[in-house]
Amino acid sequence: MDSEIIYLDHAAATPMDTRVITAMQPYFSDNFYNPSSPYAPAVKVRCDYEDTKHKIASLIGAKPGEIIMTAGATESINLAFSGIAGHVVVPNIEHHAVLNCAKLHNHTLVNADKRGFVSADSVKSAITAETQLVSVALANNELGTVQPIRDIAQVVKSERESRLVSGNKTPIYLHCDASQGVGQLDINVARLGIDMLTLNSGKIYGPKQVGLLWAASHVKLQPLIIGGGQERGLRSGTENVAGTVGFAKALELALEHRKFEADRLLELRDSLQKKLTDAFPSAIVSGHSKHRLAGHLHMSFPGLDGERLIFILENRGVMLATGSACAANKGTRSHVLTAIGLSDEQADGSIRITLGHLSTTENINKAGEIIIEELAKEYQRVNR
């Protein structure tokens, strides 16, 4: 193996930023008190926790009382679906957490187009008089395609207004799973025009097992976990002070450097994409050509075996994914690639490259060389 690891799977997991660890450290063994305890050092911890939630709220343009801390995006998504009794609308390329929650309800799957794009019109067509929830990810985790959340929010808003006129009292909410794209896209909830937002700390160089659901005050939720009544009764259990502080730091850093980082990754990604498509003209780049996360590059090499490529490239120190990490260990074909109409051969020959903090001009150039070299060998082997 080449000695250096080149990590090209930032959409699956990210290393904790040292500044995040530093922010968390005081809460491990010093300010360890239970935020519900009555004495001053514990009250100070309670204040730090509430201040941190204020900071998070302010970073996303929300009110602090509307933030519910969770153990990650999956829990947040489940909570977003908790108050829904009626029909739900979700794209057919959503994460399994969203799809599996939708399946518990009367639901309509909206077809993404072949770029993985979910148009506001297609969402509009799926909404019925009984629809209570529309849930669309900000960006698809496999393809990087960025969805037109503001346009979809307009659709939901006009449905709400027409219900008001017609006397239909069924509420309708828009939930956005922004697990992917924070640090590259705008996630201000007011500007997006959404009712609920899921964020995941583990994807933005924060601690894992931390996430949040923001839910506007008019949204009705049912707790998944009951007990001591923490988080306004919506998520019981002693508060995760260290994790929340770490998450807030990670979010702050992600938003602070957003424009710079998105530009940087775009340049790296586009240069890598050009090299690979120049070298392999039959390769297919999936995802939207314009509305795509800067760090995402999903490519199919028809005739090659994606899983084999992973192991060959890993041997050269290059770490990347086939399809999504969640589906990767199950040996099944990605539902996203099937949904956008890739043939089995195209899907099976696909890899997902996702750039991030660990990506540099040097290591992306080197990765490009290694990938071209190894894929050329593979094509020689299979064409022999």
Which amino acid belongs to residue 309? L
Is 238 a residue that touches a copy of itself (CB under 8 A)? yes
Is 78 a residue that touches a copy of itself (CB under 8 A)? yes
Question: Cα dist. 255→50, 87, 202 in Å?
Answer: 20, 34, 15
- Which range, of 12-20, 126-134, 187-195, 269-277, touches a copy of itself by CB under 8 A? 12-20
Alpha-carbon distance 127 to 305, whole Å? Answer: 39
Residues 315-354 within binding reach of a copy of itself (CB under 8 A): 319-322, 325-326, 328-330
Which of 17, 1, 3 shows the shortest CA–CA distance to 356?
Answer: 17
Is 71 a residue that touches a copy of itself (CB under 8 A)? yes
Q: Token pair 């006397």 is at which residue?
A: 167
Shortest distance, position 7 Cβ to a copy of itself, whole Å: 8
Write down the catalytic residue from 47, 101, 176, 326: 326
Q: How many residues of this chain bind a copy of itself (CB under 8 A)?
A: 67
Residues 184-213 within binding reach of a copy of itself (CB under 8 A): 202, 207-210
Shortest distance, position 191 Cβ to a copy of itself, whole Å: 28
Are 134 and 160 spatial neighbours (Cβ–Cβ below 8 Å)? no
Alpha-carbon distance 143 to 149, whole Å? Answer: 16
Phi, psi of 96 (to 5 degrees): -55, -30
Shortest distance, position 3 Cβ to a copy of itself, whole Å: 13
Q: Residue 13 or 164: which CB sits closer to a copy of itself?
A: 13
Burial 47-84 (b: 16+ CB within 10 A, else e): ebbeebbebbbebbebeeebbbbbbbbbbbbbbbbbbb
- Would residue 326 show up in a list of annotated catalytic residues for this protein? yes
Alpha-carbon distance 57 to 189, whole Å? Answer: 10
Is 16 a residue that touches a copy of itself (CB under 8 A)? yes
Is 22 a residue that touches a copy of itself (CB under 8 A)? no
Residues noted as catalytic: 326
Give the interface with a copy of itself as residue ranges (CB under 8 A): 5, 9, 12-18, 21, 28-30, 32-34, 36-42, 71-75, 77-78, 95-97, 100-101, 104, 202, 207-210, 224-229, 236-238, 240-243, 307, 310-311, 314, 319-322, 325-326, 328-330
